[in-house]
Amino acid sequence: MRAGSPDEAAEIERIRAAYAERDARPARHPAIAEAYRLINVERRARMIAMIERVGGPDRRLIDVGCGSGLDLAAWLALGWPAERLAGVDLVPERIAQARAGCPGVDLRVTTGSELPFPAHSFDVATAVTVFSSILDPLVRRRLFDEMRRVVRPGGSVLVYDFVIRNPRNPHVVAMTMPRLEALGGAPLESLRLTPLIHLVAAASRLGAGATRLAMAAAPRTHRLSRWAVDG
């Protein structure tokens, strides 16, 4: 399947429709929202630890499928210069939100798997719960190849996604290790992260101690993987 083919275009439109449906849902219950906040703090700390293995303080990063820019805003809050960050997303409304919250970041709407940047533009490319939204394995592989193309030799591609499929959501697929390896071979490193969200949310109603226990002991539903980009 080539970029821009009818099959890819149909998959992209399916993804856009699924995102629109998701964005139209009511706001999360406060306990669920707090659980997401906690797991995102943990996830970003793990991502930063991997990112810091690549390059120096002038490293450049692209967030593929950046949504409304929450991760980019977190990197800005940590002191990352806006001119060294970029993000792309399929949904124009999400990019508009990201621009409002991430001034100075290079944010662009994409129309398919191709990324609108020259080769070797970045030190790190990240994708957070993106590949699970792509049901077509050829489109998944094309996007991963594009992420690798825009990263310089010696850089890294980071993918965070869930490994246990939600049976109530027909728009996603579990990114098991075989599916991750189909993207770009075996990752250089891969960590199981993110406790089961509803257990953390339930524990949060019982206090900080129960929340800490749930964060430590609940089954892990996601994986953070890193691939090195060779020359």
Q: In this predicted structure, what is the pLDDT of residue 40? A: 86
Q: In this predicted structure, what is the pLDDT of residue 141? A: 96
Q: With beta carbons less than 8 A apart as the criterion, state whether 173 and 135 touch.
A: yes
Q: In this predicted structure, what is the pLDDT of residue 111? A: 82
- Helix ranges restricted to H, 110-190: 137-149, 177-184
User: Which pLDDT tens digits describe the chain residue by residue (231 residues)?
Assistant: 455 577 899 999 999 988 888 888 887 777 777 777 877 888 999 999 999 988 777 999 999 999 999 999 999 999 999 999 999 999 999 999 999 999 999 999 998 889 999 999 999 999 999 999 999 999 999 999 999 999 999 999 999 999 887 777 888 999 999 999 999 999 999 988 765 666 556 656 656 666 666 656 556 678 999 999 986
Q: In this predicted structure, what is the pLDDT of residue 108? A: 98
Q: In this predicted structure, what is the pLDDT of residue 30? A: 78
Strand partners, 142: none
* Residue 204 CB contacts under 8 Å (≥ 6 apart), including other chains: 31, 34, 35, 38, 210, 211, 214
Q: In this predicted structure, what is the pLDDT of residue 1? A: 44
Question: Maximum Cα–Cα distance for the chain, whole Å?
Answer: 52
Per-residue CA distances from 53 to 133, 144, 165, 178 (Å)? 28, 20, 30, 25
Identify which of 112, 188, 202, 183 has the alpha carbon closest to the alpha carbon of residue 156. 188
Q: In this predicted structure, what is the pLDDT of residue 214? A: 60
Q: In this predicted structure, what is the pLDDT of residue 38? A: 79
Domains and CATH numbers, the chain: 6-228 (3.40.50.150)
Record the tokens describing residue 77, joined without a space.
């809050």
Q: Distance between CA 61 and CA 50 in Å, rounded?
A: 12
